[in-house]
Structure 1
C-alpha cells in the first residue's frame, strides 16, 4: 500500500473510532431468523430486514433447491444475451400482478434499481425533486443521472410545491421528477403520496416511489402505493426482493413502454449477469404467497405494534414511526454504541445506527420486529431494554 493511502486510511479509521462512528460488522453464524447466533451467543434478533420471516422459510428453500437442480446455480449471461430464463419472465409477470402495473423488470439489487432507472430517464437537462431523507441509493442514482438535484424538506408538501413550481416555470429543464421513499427506513414514517401525486399532476412531474421498506409491509403487503390506491398514478414503483420477500434483488414496476425502455437503456440490466435461478424461483413463490394471503403481514404489524407500545411505555423515544420499524432514539453516538453493546451482552441484537446513516446527534438503536417473532421473544427484548435503559440513564 502506498504511504499516502496508508496514512489516509489509518487516520480516518481512528477518527471514526474516536467519534463513536466506526461500525463493527458481526458475522451471523447460521440463518438470519428471529433468533441468531453471533460470537457463539444466541440473541433475539431485532436488526434484520427479514420482515415476514421468508428468508428462512422451508417451502422457499425447497423451491430454490429444485430450481438449482434444473437450471444450475447461475443464469450464465446478461439478460440481453441469453441470461433471461423462462423463470425471469414468470417472475416479472408475477411482480406486475403484485404491484398492479402493466409490467415489471428485475435487477440484482434494490440499489441497482435506483442506479438503473433514474439515469435511464433523467439527464443533465432535467431536474429531480428529492426528499431530504431519501435513501443513499436514490441520492447516488440522482447523481449518476447528472440531473439538477433539488432537495425538498422531509415530507414538507408546501416546500415541494414551491420548488416544483420554480423548477417547472424556470424553463431550464426538459423533465422534472419527484422522487421519494415510500417508507423511510430510519424513522418508519410513510411518504405523503396522495399530496405528492396532487402536486405532480399540477406541474406534470414524473413520479417515482422507492418502496423498499413498504413492499410486503404496507398496503396489506402490496406496498405503500397500494396503501393509498395510487397504482395508476405513480410512474415508477421500485421495490426490493431482499427484505420482506426474503431473497435478493430488486424491481421496477410501471407501464409496459417504460419497462421496455429500461430493458434497452438501464446499464445494470445491460451489463450485469441475471439473478440466479434458485433465487428467482424462490422470489416468485414468495410473491405468490403475499398475493394469496395477508397472514404474515398481519402478524408483522401485530408484533410491531406490541413492541412499539412496550418501548413507549418504558419511556423510550421511538419517534413518529407509522410502520413496524421502531427506532429508539438515543442521540449521542457513543452512548448509542454503548447501548447496543449492552443489549448484545444481555441477549438482544439491535444494531446502533449513527452518522452518516442518520444525522449527527440522532443516533438510534433501530428495532425491526418480524412476523417470525413470538410474544415471548418480544417480552424478553423489552425486559432487556428496561434493564439497559435504566443502567445507562436513557430512561428512569
Structure 2
C-alpha cells in the first residue's frame, strides 16, 4: 500500500479505520528511514538542489538591486524658513495662565484640587527673598537686615556644622565634585556604600539604599513595588512627592481622612470585604496591598498615630510604607524616627523612606528595609538606575551627620523637642482668640513636631485672596525681623487643606528668640486685623 497515490492511501486508511495497528504500521513505513516522507529520501531525489537554487537567486537579487535613496526635497527658501520660525511657539516652561481673585466661583472651589479637574490654573506665588550667606542658619541676612530664620528645616543645625564642612572639603579634594554616572554605571563610590551601611545600622534595618535626590525617592521606590492591579491606601494629607509615586505606580489608590483611624479601618474593611465576598484567602490573593503614611506630615506638621495604624495594618494583612523625612533626627530618644518614638519594632515597617535634606543636613534620600527590598530597587528604582549618583562630598556630609547624631543624638533631640513645645505653646496662646489664624495641632503629641503650620481659617472669596492675605502677613513679619514662608502647592497637588504659613524651629534658636518671634507675629497680625 505504501507505493500507491495519496488518494489510494487515504481510501485504504478509511477502510482500515477500525484496525489502528495496521494504520500505525503504514504511517511508520512512510516516515521511517528509507520511507517516502523521510528527509533522506528528499536528498536522494536531489530536492535540496531546488532549495539551494532558490537561495542563490535571492542572494543574487539582493546584491544586484539598487540601494534605496530617499527623494531629495527642495530646500526651503529664506522666506519660508522665516515664516516657519515666526509661526513656531515653544511650550512654556512655566504656566502662562495663573489664577486670579477675579476667577470668582472657580477660584473658591480649589484651583489646585483634583476634585475640580476642569480647573487647571496655577496660583502665582511671590518670589522668595534672596538670602545672603548660609540660607539654613538660625539667623540669616536678607538684604541689609539680619532676621530670624523660621523657613529652613535644618532642625539640628547640621548644615552649618564646621565638622561637616571639613569632611566635605576633604572629600572634594579626594574625589572631586561629581560622581560622573549612575550607581550601576561607574557612579558607585566607597562613601556611598559606607553611608548605606551606616544608615542601615543606625535605623536597625538589614540594608539601606541611597538616592541622589530626595523628591525622586518616593516616586522611584513606590512604583518599584506597587504595580497595576495592586491597592494602596494612603492618608489624604501625604506630600506631593508621595502623590507622584502613587500616580506612577498605576495602582488603585484609596485615600482615607487625615489621621482618622476609624476611616482607615473603614477603607481596609472595604478592600478586604471584596475578597470575603469572593471567598478568597490571603494565600489566594495575588494583589499586593500597602498603607502609606508619613511620620510627621509635611502638609500639616502633625504626627501620625503610628501605633494605631500599625495595629490595623497587621489586623488586615497589609504592608506599610512610612515616609520619615521630617521625623528622622527629630522623633525618638536618639533621633531614629517614628518607629523608635512609638516603641515599635523596626521590621514592622516594610519600607522606610526619608530625605537627607532636613535634620541630616545634606542632599538626597534613602530607602531602608530588608535586603530584598533594597536589592530589588537596584534594578527597578528609576531614580537609582537612571540618575547620576549623589556627589561623594554630600555622602561624606551625611556620614559625618550620622556621627554627630550617634554622639549627641539624645541631647539634641531632647533640646529640639523642648524648644518645639515652647514655640507651639507661645504661638497657640498668641492666636488662641484669633478667628483668622490658627496653629494646626490635633493631639498632645504634636507639640514634639518642630514643623508648624499657621493656618488661615477665615473664609476668603478665593484661594488667591487667601494667598495674598498670608503673603502680606509674611512680608510684614520680614520687615520686623522674622523670616517666614508660605506653603506652596502646584495645581497637580491633590492636597485640599487651608492655605498656611509654615515655620520650622532650629535647635540653636533660644527661648528668647522664639518669644520675640511670636511677639512680632502677634503684633503684625493685630495690624492686619487677623487677630
- Distance across 2 between alignment mates of 1:195 and 1:111: 27
The match for 1:346 is: 480
- Distance across 1 between alignment mates of 2:489 and 2:388: 33
Alignment equivalent of 1:326, drawn from 439, 452, 466? 452
- Distance across 2 between alignment mates of 1:5 and 1:93: 44
The match for 2:130 is: 27
What is the CA distance between 1:23 and its match in structure 2? 3.7
Question: Which segments of 5 or more consecutive residues in structure 1 lack a partner in the other structure?
Answer: none
Deviations, residues 2-41 of structure 1 (Å, cap 9, x unaligned) = 66967x9443266799977524222322102011122332
Deviations, residues 207-230 of structure 1 (Å, cap 9, x unaligned) = 000011100101131101221132
Contact 1:21 1:354 in 2 (8 A): no
Contact 1:130 1:179 in 2 (8 A): yes
Contact 1:35 1:43 in 2 (8 A): yes
1:74 to 1:361, Cα distance in 2 relative to 1, 3 A = closer
Deviations, residues 322-371 of structure 1 (Å, cap 9, x unaligned) = 31222222333322111111001111101122555796672222221111
The match for 1:121 is: 225
1:197 to 1:16, Cα distance in 2 relative to 1, 3 A = farther
What SS is found at the alignment partner of 2:412? Answer: helix
1:225 to 1:100, Cα distance in 2 relative to 1, 3 A = same
- Distance across 1 between alignment mates of 2:489 and 2:227: 30
The match for 1:51 is: 155
- Distance across 2 between alignment mates of 1:286 and 1:132: 32
Alignment equivalent of 1:217, drawn from 300, 305, 330? 330
The match for 1:91 is: 195
Contact 2:236 2:495 in 1 (8 A): no
Instruction: Confirm or deny that 1:229 pairs with 2:355.
Output: no
Structure index of larger Rg: 2
What is the CA distance between 1:151 and its match in structure 2? 0.7
Alignment equivalent of 1:197, drawn from 310, 317, 325? 310
Alignment equivalent of 1:265, drawn from 380, 395, 399? 380
Alignment equivalent of 1:309, drawn from 425, 430, 434? 425
- Distance across 1 between alignment mates of 2:362 and 2:316: 38
The match for 2:213 is: 109
- Distance across 2 between alignment mates of 1:120 and 1:17: 40
Contact 2:199 2:208 in 1 (8 A): yes
What SS is found at the alignment partner of 1:243? Answer: coil
Contact 1:167 1:173 in 2 (8 A): no
Contact 1:168 1:176 in 2 (8 A): no
What is the CA distance between 1:179 and its match in structure 2? 0.3
- Distance across 1 between alignment mates of 2:99 and 2:165: 39
TM-score, normalised to structure 1, is 0.93
TM-score, normalised to structure 2, is 0.70
What is the CA distance between 1:79 and its match in structure 2? 0.7
What is the CA distance between 1:166 and its match in structure 2? 2.2
- Distance across 1 between alignment mates of 2:429 and 2:398: 38
Instruction: Confirm or deny that 1:135 pairs with 2:254.
Output: no
Contact 2:132 2:142 in 1 (8 A): yes
Contact 2:178 2:391 in 1 (8 A): yes
- Distance across 1 between alignment mates of 2:102 and 2:499: 14
Instruction: Confirm or deny that 1:75 pairs with 2:179.
Output: yes
- Distance across 2 between alignment mates of 1:184 and 1:236: 17
- Distance across 2 between alignment mates of 1:232 and 1:41: 49
The match for 1:175 is: 288
1:5 to 1:232, Cα distance in 2 relative to 1, 3 A = closer
Contact 1:21 1:333 in 2 (8 A): no
1:361 to 1:335, Cα distance in 2 relative to 1, 3 A = farther
What is the CA distance between 1:186 and its match in structure 2? 3.0
The match for 1:187 is: 300
Deviations, residues 187-238 of structure 1 (Å, cap 9, x unaligned) = 2211121121111112221100001110010113110122113212000111
Contact 1:131 1:179 in 2 (8 A): yes
The match for 2:406 is: 291
- Relative contact order, CA 8 A, sep 6+: which one is greater? 1
What SS is found at the alignment partner of 1:123? Answer: coil
Instruction: Confirm or deny that 1:208 pairs with 2:338.
Output: no
Alignment equivalent of 2:510, drawn from 360, 363, 374? 374
Q: Which moved more, 1:105-114 or 1:163-172?
A: 163-172
Deviations, residues 118-169 of structure 1 (Å, cap 9, x unaligned) = 1001100201101000011111101001001111111111221221222234
- Distance across 2 between alignment mates of 1:39 and 1:204: 55
Q: Which moved more, 1:314-323 or 1:60-69?
A: 314-323
What SS is found at the alignment partner of 1:329? Answer: strand
Instruction: Confirm or deny that 1:165 pairs with 2:251.
Output: no
Q: Which moved more, 1:50-59 or 1:75-84?
A: 75-84
The match for 1:240 is: 355
